[in-house]
Structure 1
């Protein structure tokens, strides 16, 4: 074990919080609701809250297998990106004709999240910090300049930084340049946002049952029936918000795969330690590699450091045992001190991991089932903190049968390619990961396998 990890605890820093609410009772026996939301992460919570605001005459019930916010929504890095397309580059490649509309809708969505947090008084340290993309290899500097030219064509506010200017913002000997996006990202405390949305749902009249895993969804005469371990619900409509976990719709089982993302967080930096790296703008930061790191400051000046390894396990296996990879946490710790050698001796207090969903186009997709009575949104691929609110709106549009600017988007109307079944899925993902690592090590050159997958629009990311 890396020495900096010796005293760390294996739990999410965000969830290890004294304001964590007590669990709500599970569903026991029979219930009924106009709309049943399955899943108590951001997607489900936004759907339930917006449904009550948009259709106050409808009863809404939310079922969560564990506790609301305990999964990806409560343990992510706390980056709320305005992008609905997993970044400008991915959006430009896949939906060039509607990218300006997607960026406008994403910016509006981010502003509305901030306004909701302020209106509801959610204490989650919401800050419009902007984001800094840093280059640590010469080819990444060239790529940032190319991206800058495209951003300028689309009127996206940004600035390109040379090595000196980048290190003046945040000092690492690994930095060769950077690109600052001042309007694209907010930072927040993710579990507190989830708990705040949960409280707002309860205040709005949403009935929430935690500890209520849904085991089946079936048509029952003119309604839908959802069965849990200890009860059942008759529903007029259903919104599925289970994301990384197996869908109640079998048709979606190959559309996403679960991957494990790993995170560390340090003890609070002293004034001298913080001065040694700068970071006066407190931006969220990501490096420009294929296997990338993301990092940020917390309100008490800890550094959250995550990413790099996105680990897929054969058969789309999900288990708490897989959250304790010492190898990945050791690797992350070593990479942290390569980036910030001036912080040698700093210790990590928390280390954790958990499953997120990824799809082959890297951004969310949407659809309906059971004649339009069921809607779903999933596939956010690690950039869902803000985009889940947009996904909730799309689901509610679909359930209401409304044609809106959102539902007319090609992004909303189309689906990604599915992943192949096993063993081809595991072999393909391993080949993709190895090829991405090789690309990072060889000047960004993409081998024949990556170029072929690019042409097919087939990818793997987190």
Structure 2
């Protein structure tokens, strides 16, 4: 592969044409902690016991992130008399559900291009169901008294290269010119933008997870932390399913697997996802003068339009979260805390932040962290049933799970009940994506793809033969 400097000479990106001063980058990171701001912000004494001994349940949920928590809550709302047990390997919301950027998007398909390409016959229905899902989720958060700082602020797609302006114009959306988009968020890198006013909300990720657990427990869900599922056994074609943990077991009529990026208890789905690490910085609270310098009064989420894109948002107390760009896959599909420590990536993010907002030079980042995204080859969630309809599963949200997990919970409960609904009839729900290959092919293919995406960003968006072949095969991949 060509050296990065050679690629940059073809068409340097704005972050290479206007790099931040190295001293400013280093100073911004001097006091940064290796910790997730969201999880620090909700640190409290609320814990749940370890599973000891044998339990029985009508429904067992494996996984204490958004997928499992929404499923448990919805199961009790549907049938208050049902005995629902939820087990979590560590603590509620500690993984992606507590670490993400807090963008809650209506799309179930990871955007229009991906949806129209993969499910052209169902796309209009998927768009409607996605918007309905966002509205239903917002209503549920209100009705259940969930305090997660939900804001219906929308999101901005911003062009930071001339070719991206053309892409915005071709989308058919109302395009804000440079002055108009900078009046919303003041960055000298912005050339144009589109404001999606109704399809995205902002929220506090860890508060959503912790509050969902509180609501679930209040409804009667029995929650157990530090109780990793080690095996799944079935008894005959119609008997109960038994899931074992280090110190106990649960015998259930129905089971939901909501383990997402972590290895599935079902061998059939273990090649369906790969963990891709995403990295994030969080600033200290901005001063009033700094707030005035950037505007951002409408508090939209922002993302640029590169293949290796950045996403960022401002919190209610005036911190800026800035992440994305450098999505990293590690050989062997492992999820390890050691992968969260990547100084070169944090320096790159800090530099790109100061290119985006040079008027904020001197700001400090208080937190840096990473998390693993459950990436699938269809670039959005897949759904399935196993064990003669007694086990439902979903995974592969590919970074868009804050809203889509709410939809997935209904899909799984519908399917476990045997009920046919508009959700269960979707081709996206009925068909599985192509699996990733085993190693070493997986690492080779993913890393060649990352190189090709970076190359496209340095060639004004032009995709090479490798990316075009992946597109044709339905094996989309993005940062």
Task: Tell me the TM-score normalized by structure 2.
Answer: 0.93
Q: Deviations over 1:229-275 (max 9, x none)?
A: 11111111100000000000011111000011100000011111111
- Equivalent residue in structure 2 for 1:75, among 99, 124, 144: 99
1:322 and 2:346 equivalent?
no
Is the CA contact (8 Å cut-off) linking 2:42 and 2:207 kept in structure 1?
no
Structure 2, unaligned runs of 5 or more: 1-24
Is the CA contact (8 Å cut-off) linking 1:20 and 1:195 kept in structure 2?
no
**Shift in Å at residue 2 of structure 1?**
2.4
Is the CA contact (8 Å cut-off) linking 1:256 and 1:357 kept in structure 2?
yes
- After the TM superposition, which of the residue ranges 220-229 and 297-306 deviates more from structure 2? 220-229
| 1:36-435 matched pairs, under 5 angstroms | 36-147=60-171, 149=172, 159-221=174-236, 222-435=239-452
Separation in structure 1 between the aligned mates of residue 355 and residue 450 of structure 2, nearest angstrom:
22
**Shift in Å at residue 100 of structure 1?**
1.6
**Shift in Å at residue 356 of structure 1?**
1.4
Counterpart position of 2:8 = none
Is the CA contact (8 Å cut-off) linking 1:21 and 1:195 kept in structure 2?
no
Counterpart position of 1:447 = 464
**Shift in Å at residue 21 of structure 1?**
4.5
Is the CA contact (8 Å cut-off) linking 1:358 and 1:461 kept in structure 2?
no
Separation in structure 1 between the aligned mates of residue 290 and residue 181 of structure 2, nearest angstrom:
18
Is the CA contact (8 Å cut-off) linking 1:287 and 1:293 kept in structure 2?
yes
Q: Deviations over 1:46-102 (max 9, x none)?
A: 000001111223211000001111110001000000111111221122112222211
Q: Deviations over 1:94-150 (max 9, x none)?
A: 112222211111111111111111122222110001110000111111111111x2x
Separation in structure 2 between the aligned mates of residue 69 and residue 18 of structure 1, nearest angstrom:
11
Separation in structure 2 between the aligned mates of residue 21 and residue 122 of structure 1, nearest angstrom:
18
Counterpart position of 1:153 = none
Separation in structure 1 between the aligned mates of residue 118 and residue 158 of structure 2, nearest angstrom:
24
Secondary structure of the equivalent of 1:16? helix
Separation in structure 1 between the aligned mates of residue 213 and residue 448 of structure 2, nearest angstrom:
40
Separation in structure 1 between the aligned mates of residue 241 and residue 297 of structure 2, nearest angstrom:
53
Is the CA contact (8 Å cut-off) linking 1:159 and 1:181 kept in structure 2?
no
Separation in structure 2 between the aligned mates of residue 223 and residue 121 of structure 1, nearest angstrom:
35
Separation in structure 2 between the aligned mates of residue 313 and residue 226 of structure 1, nearest angstrom:
29
Counterpart position of 1:154 = none
Separation in structure 2 between the aligned mates of residue 87 and residue 64 of structure 1, nearest angstrom:
31
Secondary structure of the equivalent of 1:315? coil
Secondary structure of the equivalent of 1:282? coil
Secondary structure of the equivalent of 2:254? strand
Separation in structure 1 between the aligned mates of residue 141 and residue 45 of structure 2, nearest angstrom:
18
**Shift in Å at residue 19 of structure 1?**
5.2
Task: Tell me the TM-score normalized by structure 1.
Answer: 0.96
Separation in structure 2 between the aligned mates of residue 281 and residue 166 of structure 1, nearest angstrom:
12
**Shift in Å at residue 27 of structure 1?**
0.4
- After the TM superposition, which of the residue ranges 21-30 and 446-455 deviates more from structure 2? 21-30
Separation in structure 1 between the aligned mates of residue 344 and residue 466 of structure 2, nearest angstrom:
27
Counterpart position of 1:155 = none
Separation in structure 2 between the aligned mates of residue 382 and residue 269 of structure 1, nearest angstrom:
27
Structure 1, unaligned runs of 5 or more: 150-157
CA RMSD of aligned residues (A): 1.1
Is the CA contact (8 Å cut-off) linking 2:157 and 2:193 kept in structure 1?
yes
Counterpart position of 2:22 = none
Separation in structure 1 between the aligned mates of residue 383 and residue 312 of structure 2, nearest angstrom:
30
Separation in structure 2 between the aligned mates of residue 351 and residue 332 of structure 1, nearest angstrom:
10
